[in-house]
Amino acid sequence: QVQLVESGGGLVQAGGSLRLSCVDSGRTFSRNKMGWFRQTPGKEREFVAAITWAGANTYYTDSVKGRFTIARDDAKNTVYLQMNSLKPEDTAIYYCAARTRNGDTWSSLNEVGDYDYWGQGTQVTVSS
């Protein structure tokens, strides 16, 4: 069973940094593809970043490329999202997700329906 718990959100000024963490309490973490999504009120949940098995491939939405970095530590069952140069438009609830099915290409990892398990979310607020 996959259970995801995010942490690391908070309030930060524009230009600042935060690192989100997501711990998976299950026993299959190393085989899972992991993703980060975010959502603001009244909008659909949107893809932010994803990472495949052993970190072989990473994917990002265009708006965060060069600012955000996704990484994983399989020994700790943890996936991270390092967020630098934060902007007010990055304000959202950030969700961690796990894909246990086959498929590790961009087309299999950039939509909500591509994932099987979700965390409860962590709030990120960037002030101007």
Which tens digit of pLDDT belongs to each residue from 80-125? Answer: 999 999 999 999 999 999 999 998 999 999 999 999 999 999 999 9
pLDDT given at position 117: 96
Torsion over CA: 66, 80, 43, 41 (sign): negative
The pair of three-digit structure tokens given for residue 7, joined into one six-digit string: 């942490």
pLDDT given at position 26: 87
Give 12-49 as a DSSP string.
EETT--EEEEEEE-SS-GGGSEEEEEEE-TTS--EEEE
